[in-house]
Chains A and B, each alone.
Chain A
Amino acid sequence: MHKEDQALIFELSTSGRVGYSLPEMDIPEVNIDDLIPTDYIRTAEPNLPEVSELDIMRHYTALSRRNHGVDSGFYPLGSCTMKYNPKINENVARFAGFAHLHPLQDESSVQGALELMYDLQEHLIEITGMDEVTLQPAAGAHGEWTGLMLIRAYHEANGDTKRTKVIVPDSAHGTNPASATVAGFETITVKSDENGLVDLDDLRNVVGEDTAALMLTNPNTLGLFEENILEMASIVHEAGGKLYYDGANLNAVLSKARPGDMGFDVVHLNLHKTFTGPHGGGGPGSGPVGVKKDLIPFLPKPVVTKKDREFVLDYDRPQSIGRVKPYYGNFGINVRAYTYIRTMGPDGLKAVTEYAVLNANYMMRRLQPYFDLPFDRHCKHEFVLSGKRQKKLGVRTLDIAKRLLDFGYHPPTIYFPLNVEECIMIEPTETESKETLDAFIEAMIQIAKEAEENPEIVQEAPHTTVIGRLDETTAARKPILRYQV
């Protein structure tokens, strides 16, 4: 161990220490050998740590201090919508009447939970312009797969079994082609044109009788609104395909444009992005899916509906694709998203998008003199820069990202989307102040100057973090994936 290493919890363990307080054994005990066959009684103890309660708190507090969250500082991570996570959401999700409900309780005893789910569905239907919403998918990628399975079921129900291909733009999130594969489709890529939008001629070339769907993020991952969306919708619909909306970038168009009105048939939302379920260090998320009328029969079951004045779980869905998840989705995240929507209201959600887009455009224009701007037009909630100019000076985008760590920022998304060289993708969100944006801009400008005058300081960054750049090659070549006692 290096003297600066943060101890693993296993290294803090001392035999005989405890950190628990289990309920009393108030029943007469029986010899366990009389209850369980010998071969099934565990002999070797699992090597879990033996530590006191204070040891545990100090350990995890130390770990938390080695972690950067939105509450620690600015987090302009493109495509991830790292906005403020309201604290009221956390309070509400912890109410006993929400946090401590069993999913298999009698419906009569969970009317409040079903009412919340139903009302959230109603709100999401209005926000997306779709006809019905399921809250079952656990995250965005799970929603994508669910949506594609719905489209597959729809085509199959029409006897249209030759639709084996899903079209995705070259700027798409990696989950899109991956979800297409696990839903049993082959992925076809459609090119972007010089304006960063889907190339309509190429789209016309790739659609056909085998097209199941086109998956699209709008605005796209470059932060640009696909202006030709109606034409794209008619190209795909005329070919008999369906239009799928990846809702990762919904923060850009709240109250400005609804997927349902743009011609989309299926939509997934990332409630942990636009609707402030916290990211949690990588989850849990929630990925509701909205559909137009003709896809409703295929929705996963059960569906929460209202019958007279009772809320019920409807399992009688003969054409349903089945279950995509046990129970009813990530309810705890849905509670947070619902609380957020109710905190903002219609005028608040409109302001969210206006400020998210205003902030992005402001940053883009202020940074434009210092970095290459591949698409010089108004952006939506995020924009991409290229580090091409800095690369010629020997400073890569990765170096710029690492240098930002020294200023206390989480870097933007880098090297994505794939169709922009040395890509830097910045999404400020609406919850940041002008002072924060300005300070970040100044840091970026300083780094651009350093790249010219003192590139080593950027190339060798970070200088102030608890650890330097890590050897990822060895990590992958000789993987150490667990602590060995």
Chain B
Amino acid sequence: MKHRYLPMTETDKKAMLEQIGISDVQELFNDIPESVQFKGEYNIKKAKSETALLKELTLLAAKNADLRSHTSFLGAGVYDHYMPVIVDHVLSRSEFYTAYTPYQPEISQGELQAIFEFQTMICELTGMDVANSSMYDGGTALAEAAMLSSGHTKRKKVLLSSTVHPETKEVVKAYAKGQYVEVVEIPYRDGVTDLDALKSEMDDTIAAVIVQYPNFFGRIEPMKELEEIIHSGKAMFVVSSNPLSLGALTPPGAFGADIVAGDAQPFGIPTSFGGPHCGYFAVTNKLVRKIPGRLVGQTKDDQGRRGFVLTLQAREQHIRRDKATSNICSNQALNALAASVAMTALGKKGVREMAVSNIQKAHYAKQAFKNKGFTVAFDGPSFNEFVVELNQPVKEVNQQLLKEGIIGGYDLGRDYPQLKNHMLVAVTELRTKEEIDLFVDRMGDYHA
């Protein structure tokens, strides 16, 4: 057969078979036992030409209501943000996207340096000493943080605030089961972690306390009080943060966090139906040799030129095998590059301006809901999300909104039975006054 990705001609093939000393390619597969040989071809769809396939998939994509043609107030861990157009231009450099992991530093300096810069930017935003080269996403990064804490403290129990992203909580629990770590949820009160409940669970068996800041309801957690309680119990203070929020908010590092993990999706990474995004993982210096995944370090060549290498690899699976600090191998390098470009474009002024814009616009929307007669649940200092109470199921309201080109907020009743008819609304810097006003207007009939 002829195919544009398969360059061998019949003449080539003949010469190669001759070199090998066989007459038919099938002879190369005769070591597969007869009874397990697959005969014939897969029963799958026939190949399409480039044009026909593009048309089919264009139509398939058009069946979806995307965030470019709709106005979204949906967040809950994944956000529709300003994406500097240059991000995709950099990502489209195929020297980056068609490369493998930079195990050969002499021809991988570009990738290695970009990751070194990413590590630096994550440290700057989180206020931590060391960041790795990325994790799969915020959920698995936090799960790895829980596992690191358990390994480091040799304690087998972690406390998880109920205001952490519900899907992330499930991932933490799945990882914890793997390593026989017990997970206990701490309830919330008034929309933030219940400090009294936390105190009553603290004892010398607790490896870590995991909180999200800003939390799943958009609220700012009482970080100072949390830190005191957690560290007085000699447990590790593990924080999941939206890194964009840290452009305006005091970073977890300044509150004494031991591990900060999260997702860099708000920086230049498309929502992409939930993945790939870009987990990040940052720690204090004392945990540097326990950190999971790849780390890039600076060094020199024999002529004194600055260069970068993958380093401290004795932590990793390809060296330590069953004693590795994690099994992670592939990470999200290309999306770490995307996040780096976006963070670079924003720079120190832009990241603050964008974060503040989120706070301002969400506040404006929150006030507009209040003015319309809505009850805002858990009202208090928040980043770009807040909770409104409705008089009917969120799913039904969202189906009505969709008809008007609006993607409504998240149905909290899915994860919190007591929060039936509660909608988590996200307002990013992208939403205009006009869009917010229209949204609040269309929600008008649904207030509780």
Contact = CB atoms under 8 A, between A and B. Distances in A.
Contact of B272 (A27, A332, A466): A332
B331 interface: yes
B399 interface: yes
B104 A401 contact: yes
A361 B25 CA distance: 10
B94 to A, nearest CB: 4
Contacts of A405: 104, 106-107
A95 B48 contact: no
Interface string B314-358: 101111111110111111111101001101111111111110110
B326 A182 contact: yes
Interface string B422-448: 000000011011101000000000000
A353 B348 CA distance: 50
Contacts of A93: 272
A177 B376 CA distance: 50
Contacts of A94: 88
Contacts of B61: 92, 95-98, 112
Contacts of A144: 327
Nearest to A434: B12
Contacts of B318: 173-175, 416
A426 interface: no
A327 B47 contact: no
B250 A39 contact: yes
Contact of A123 (B6, B45, B69, B361): B45
A121 B297 CA distance: 40
B113 interface: yes
A235 interface: no
A19 B347 contact: yes
B273 A113 contact: yes
Contacts of B97: 69, 85, 90, 278-281
A95 B304 contact: no
Contacts of B251: 42, 46
Interface in B248-296: 248-251, 270-276, 288, 294-296
Given A323-B170, A347-B1, A109 B64 contact: yes
Contact of B304 (A2, A6, A341): A2
A40 B249 contact: yes
A289 interface: no
B109 A67 contact: yes
A371 interface: no
Interface stretch (A70-78, A204-212, A445-453): A70-78
Contact of A327 (B121, B167, B299, B354): B167
B322 A180 contact: yes
A98 B119 CA distance: 29
Contacts, number: 697
Contacts of B323: 181
A25 to B, nearest CB: 6
Contacts of A431: 5-7
B367 to A, nearest CB: 9
Nearest to B321: A177
Interface string B42-55: 11111110100110
B105 interface: yes
B300 A48 contact: no
A98 B274 contact: no
A30 to B, nearest CB: 6
Given A469-B106, A472-B311, A10 B120 contact: yes
Contact of A50 (B137, B224, B349): B349
B230 interface: no
Interface string A145-180: 100010010000000000000000000011101111
Interface in A27-72: 27-30, 32, 35-37, 39-43, 45-51, 53, 56-57, 59-72
A96 B64 CA distance: 9
Contacts of B105: 467, 470
B101 A285 contact: no
Interface string B90-117: 1011111111111011111111011111
Contacts of A224: 31
Contacts of B247: 42, 46
Contacts of A1: 306
Contact of B66 (A91, A96, A229, A482): A96
A4 B249 CA distance: 39
Given A101-B271, A141-B317, A358-B16, A22 B353 contact: yes
Interface stretch (B175-183, B188-196, B231-239): B175-183
B100 A282 contact: yes
B270 A332 contact: yes
Nearest to B74: A102
Contact of B299 (A138, A365, A474): A474
Nearest to A347: B1
Q: SS class of chain A's interface: helix, strand, loop or mixed?
A: loop
A352 B1 CA distance: 11
A339 B333 contact: no
Contacts of A109: 64-65, 402, 407
Given A23-B82, A46-B125, A18 B271 contact: no
Given A22-B429, A50-B348, A481 B330 contact: no
B330 A36 contact: no
B208 interface: no
A21 B268 CA distance: 13
Contacts of A247: none
Interface in B135-188: 136-140, 147, 165, 167-168, 170-171, 173-175, 177-180
A200 interface: no
A60 B354 contact: no
B40 to A, nearest CB: 8
Interface string B24-67: 01011111110111101111111110100110111011111111
B322 A181 contact: yes
Interface in A1-23: 1-2, 4-6, 8-10, 13, 17-23
A82 interface: yes
A10 B309 CA distance: 19
B78 interface: yes
Given A36-B359, A92-B57, A470-B300, A42 B249 contact: yes
Contacts of B8: 355, 358-359, 430, 433-434
**Top-10 shortest CB links A-B:** A327-B274, A345-B47, A97-B61, A103-B274, A280-B334, A112-B63, A67-B110, A69-B98, A284-B276, A282-B333
22 contacts: A22-B350, A48-B344, A57-B86, A63-B114, A92-B54, A97-B66, A99-B66, A102-B407, A104-B78, A122-B44, A138-B330, A142-B327, A178-B327, A182-B179, A323-B170, A325-B171, A343-B48, A358-B20, A378-B27, A432-B7, A468-B302, A472-B311
